[in-house]
Amino acid sequence: MTPASTQRRAAVALVVGLLTPLTACGGNDDTEDTAADLTVLAASSLTDVFKEAGAAYEKEHPGTKVTFSFAGSQELAAQVRQGAPADALVTADTKTMDGLGPETGTPTVIAKNRLVIATGQGNPKQVRNVRDLADTGLKVVLAAPEVPVGRYSEQILDAQKITVKPVSQEPNVRAVLSKVQLGEADAGLVYRTDVASAAGKVDSVDIPDEQNAVASYPAATLKTSEHGAAAEAFVEWLSSPEARRILTGAGFQQP
């Protein structure tokens, strides 16, 4: 081998040696982009199912931790407008999400839901349908009209020309469920999945599809997120087969 050949081989080896660490670093950067501590603002009706979904996501994405903050969608929207530090948002209606257009990425509907009448265990007041909610002897609790489930409730009642005077109007659907579960109300309009989460503690009366309302759950990243790639990865995952399996297992409908 000539001295020139030896020098060329040495130069190539040096370049390869220098490039290899850089390539490895590039791979780590990709991993770091989608690994972060994420804060997700989510509608109250997602409380139980998202705890399971979050655990599944963390298992699939080592290095990522997902923390949820649950509240009524209108409360979450107020937090976003006030600049609360968070990475993604999931609401129980498209109206609330659409109102946050400048603050979010493009929303994707990840699930749907329907309403039922929640009653005390054993349905002691023998509620049979939505018309029974107009009975002045019945203590009915509803969500406030600015809450998605409150608007859906109004939609159902208005379509049937039913006037209901609730004993209280609650800030989120879980508060409505709690009132019924504790016996502070005889009936309330909640999501089907909320009753499923309280199995054995409350009963429910189905509302026919033609009288019901369909709730849509859009998810979106927040533009103020400090972990944009990781937030986007999580929102995309919510439409994955595994996420849909978890959501449908909890009673949600596919979008």
Query: How confident is the model at residue 164, as a pLDDT?
Result: 97
Q: Do domains 36-112+216-249 and 113-214 have the same CATH topology?
A: yes
Say what the pTM is: 0.85
Query: How confident is the model at residue 16, as a pLDDT?
Result: 38
Using CB atoms within 10 Å of the CB of residue 193, give its burial: 0 to 12 exposed, 13 to 18 middle, 19+ buried.
Answer: buried
Q: Enumerate the domain spans of the chain.
A: 36-112+216-249, 113-214
CB atoms under 10 Å from CB of 130, counted, come to: 23
Instruction: Return the closest-CA partner of residue 50 out of 25, 35, 20, 71.
Output: 71
As given in the structure block, the two tokens for residue 6 are 């030896």
Query: How confident is the model at residue 34, as a pLDDT?
Result: 67
Query: How confident is the model at residue 125, as a pLDDT?
Result: 96
Q: Mean pLDDT of residues grouped by 10 in the chain (255 residues)?
A: 47 40 39 78 97 97 96 97 97 97 97 98 97 97 97 97 97 97 97 94 97 98 96 98 98 96
Q: Please give the CATH architecture assigned to the domain spanning 113-214.
A: 3-Layer(aba) Sandwich (3.40)
Using CB atoms within 10 Å of the CB of residue 30, give its burial: 0 to 12 exposed, 13 to 18 middle, 19+ buried.
Answer: exposed
Query: How confident is the model at residue 117, as a pLDDT?
Result: 98
Residue 249 sits at the vertex; the CA angle it makes with 243 and 253, to the nearest 5 degrees, is 80
Q: Which residues pair with 30 in a beta bridge?
A: none
CATH number of 36-112+216-249: 3.40.190.10
